[in-house]
Each structure stands twice: as structure tokens, then as C-alpha cells.
């Protein structure tokens, strides 16, 4: 280990490490994978979390829009339940949390803080009440789109597909995890995967910082789903964070209200 890597390792070991996107719930449901099992081709289990000094993980609740068409809510609930079952199976190693204080408690108890984020607004089936119920079950962020556009937000994955209907105004039904006429809910808005127009429109209507839970920089990897320098600067100016370009841990621990408040291409190798 070189002096530079030693310093990096020391910083990493002294930090409360928060990862904002892991696709492991699909394995929980479809492969009956358990966090105590060997990796078997994946990248996340209790052993790897310990080795990597992982303090908190947002498990991604992702529903394949083609495979589960007409069953988005059911599949979403099955994935949410699978995360909670893992916590129930491993109470000495994991703890389900939904607040910054919960993350800090888990850190003090040397347990993996277990959180959830929904990847893809199609999971709410255009229903604000359904969004509220996901929040009540402990979900704390929602990626507005996956690779598929929905009725109120456009995706970078199909923005150039003329056969897909796209919005004219960008996101208009959900404002920072709220119904337009409702009080703030506290769901963090995640702009990974969205189209450029939806991204900038979201920042205009958003009343709290947004995050990019799993985005790269377009300057390094020229893909429509990645972020331009202007987009990265816009997120920074809003007070938000991106997972690859900057650490999200301090942002998440500073969020102002009672929840974690501020409202991919699949399969991924980050399981």
C-alpha cells in the first residue's frame, strides 16, 4: 500500500460510509439470497459490507417495467418486504432506519443502517396516495424515472424514441415527495436516469435539495443518463449531492425535517 492509498484508507475507515444504491433486493426475492450467504456473483453481503466499512445502505426497490407491467405496486411491495425480512433475519448485524438519527444510532451500535429508495416513478402508478404509503413503509427517496418515461417525468433512456409519449412541461405531479395540494411528505427526489429537460425542470419546482443516487459524469462517460458539468453544478448549487462525484453522507445527515426530509441500466453489478 502506497502512502497515498494509506491516507485514503485511513479517511475511508474513519468515515460513516453511506451508499445510496444497491440492487440486492431483486436477489432477495428472485434468488432467495440472504445477506449472510456468500456473494455468489454479487457484490454485497454482510461480509463485504463489514470489509468495506459500509455504515448505511439504501437498497434499491426497482421494478422491471416490462416484466411487471400491470403489477408495479405488487412487485414494489414484495421488494420492500424482502428488505425488512433481511433485517429481521439479522438483528445483530442490521437495523432498519428511516432518519439521520437512525443512521447515527446504527453507527454507534456497529450495525448496517438499512434504508430503501424506489428506482422509477412507475412504481407509484400515478398515485400520490401510493407514494404516501411507500413513505410510511420506510422508503426515503424515489428516482423519478428509470430507463422508461412515465406520465409525469421523462427518462434519458427513451427521450429520443418518437414512439414514446413525453411530457411537455417536465415533472408536474410530484413536488419534492408531495402531492401538489398536499403538505410536504419528506421523500427525497433522485434525478438519476432522468432526461436533461426533466432534470432542470425538477430543480425549478423542487423546494429542497435533490440527489443523484447513482450517476456518473458525461465528460468521463458520454451517456445520456450521465450528468453534464452544468448539471453537476446545478445540483451543488441546490445543496444536493451525487453519489459518484461527491460523498452523500454529510448531505443525508444534514437533511432538515423529520424523515430524511428533502421530499439503470438493469441488472446492475452493484448487488
What does the pLDDT look like over 9-35, one tens digit per residue? 888 888 999 999 999 999 999 999 999
What values do phi and psi take at 231, rounded to 5?
Answer: -70, -40
Q: Give residue 244's pLDDT.
A: 57
Q: What percent of the chain has pLDDT over 70?
A: 83
Q: Which three cell numbers stand for residue 142?
A: 424515489
Q: Which residues lie closer than 8 Å to 30 by C-beta, 6 or more apart?
A: none
pLDDT band at 205 (very low <50, low <70, confident <90, very high): confident
Query: Tens digits of per-residue pLDDT, 54-88?
Result: 999 999 999 999 999 999 999 999 999 999 999 99
Single out the residue of 64, 185, 173, 201 nearest to residue 120, CA to CA. 64
Q: Return the pLDDT at 249.
A: 40
Residue 235 and residue 242 in contact, taking contact as beta carbons nearer than 8 Å: yes
Residue 264 reports pLDDT greater than 60: no
- How many CA atoms, within 13 angstroms, populate the side-chain half-sphere of residue 223? 16
What pLDDT was estimated at residue 177? 47
Q: How far apart are the C-alpha atoms of 194 and 212, rounded to whole Å? A: 10
Give the C-alpha separation, 30 to 252, whole Å. Answer: 30
Q: How far apart are CA 193 and CA 258, in angstroms?
A: 27
What's the pLDDT tens digit per position in 216-257?
899 999 999 999 999 999 998 888 877 653 333 444 444 333
Domain edges within the chain: 17-254
Q: By the 8 A CB rule, do 59 and 96 touch? A: no
pLDDT digits (tens, 9 = 90+) for 129-154: 999 999 999 999 999 999 999 989 99
Q: What percent of the chain has pLDDT over 90?
A: 68
State how far the Cα of 199 lies from the Cα of 143, in Å rounded to an integer.
11
Kindly state the average pLDDT of the residues 186-202. Answer: 93
At a CB cut-off of 8 Å and minimum separation 6, what does 124 contact? Answer: 118, 130, 131, 134, 142, 174
Supply the pLDDT for residue 241: 75
Q: Are the C-beta atoms of residues 187 and 137 closer than 8 Å to each other?
A: no
| pLDDT greater at residue 267 or residue 112 | 112
Do the beta carbons of residue 139 and residue 133 sit within 8 Å?
A: no
Q: Residue 262: which pLDDT band, with cuts at 50, 70 and 90?
A: very low
Q: Which of 109-123, 206-220, 240-254 is modeled with the greatest confidence?
A: 109-123
Average pLDDT over the chain reads: 86
Residue 89's pLDDT band, with cuts at 50, 70 and 90, is very high
CATH topology for 17-254 is TIM Barrel (3.20.20)
> Residue by residue, what is the 3-state secondary structure of the chain?
CCHHHHHHHHHHHCCCEEEEEECCHHHHHHCCCCCCCCCCCCCCCHHHHHHCCEEEEEEEEECCCCCCCCCHHHHHHHHHHHHHHHHHHCCCCEEECCCHHHHHHHHHCCCEEEEEEEECHHHHCCCHHHHHHHHHCCEEEEECCCCCCCCCCCECCCCCCCCCCCCCCCCCCECCCCECCCCCCCCEEECCCECHHHHHHHHHHCCCCCEECCCCECCCCCCCCCECHHHHHHHHHHCCEECCCCCCHHHHHHCCCCCCCCCCCCCCCCC
Provide the pLDDT for residue 166: 87
Amino acid at each position: 500500500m502506497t502512502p497515498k492509498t494509506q491516507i485514503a484508507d485511513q479517511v475511508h475507515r474513519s468515515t460513516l460510509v453511506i451508499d445510496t444504491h444497491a440492487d440486492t433486493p431483486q436477489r432477495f426475492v428472485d434468488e432467495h439470497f440472504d445477506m449472510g450467504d456468500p456473494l455468489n456473483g454479487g457484490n454485497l453481503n454482510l461480509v463485504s459490507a463489514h470489509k468495506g466499512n459500509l455504515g448505511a445502505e439504501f437498497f434499491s426497490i426497482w421494478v422491471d417495467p416490462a416484466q411487471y407491467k400491470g403489477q408495479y405496486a405488487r412487485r414494489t411491495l414484495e421488494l420492500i418486504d424482502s428488505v425488512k425480512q433481511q433485517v429481521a433475519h439479522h438483528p445483530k448485524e442490521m437495523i432498519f432506519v428511516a432518519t439521520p438519527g437512525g443512521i447515527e444510532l446504527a453507527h454507534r451500535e456497529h450495525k448496517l443502517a438499512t434504508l430503501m429508495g424506489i428506482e422509477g416513478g412507475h412504481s407509484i402508478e400515478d398515485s400520490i396516495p401510493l407514494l404516501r404509503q411507500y413513505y410510511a413503509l420506510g422508503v426515503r427517496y424515489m428516482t423519478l424515472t428509470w430507463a422508461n418515461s412515465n406520465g409525469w417525468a421523462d427518462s434519458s433512456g427513451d427521450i429520443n424514441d418518437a414512439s414514446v409519449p413525453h411530457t411537455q412541461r417536465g415533472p408536474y405531479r410530484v413536488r419534492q415527495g408531495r402531492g401538489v395540494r398536499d403538505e410536504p411528505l419528506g421523500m427525497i427526489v433522485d434525478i438519476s436516469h432522468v432526461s436533461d429537460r426533466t432534470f432542470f425542470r425538477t430543480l425549478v419546482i423542487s423546494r429542497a435539495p435533490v440527489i443523484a443516487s447513482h450517476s456518473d459524469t458525461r465528460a468521463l462517460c458520454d451517456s445520456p443518463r450521465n450528468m453534464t458539468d452544468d448539471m453537476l453544478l446545478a445540483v451543488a448549487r441546490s445543496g444536493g449531492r451525487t453519489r459518484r462525484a461527491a460523498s452523500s453522507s454529510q448531505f443525508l445527515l444534514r437533511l432538515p425535517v423529520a424523515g430524511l426530509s428533502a421530499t439503470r441500466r438493469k441488472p446492475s453489478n452493484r448487488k
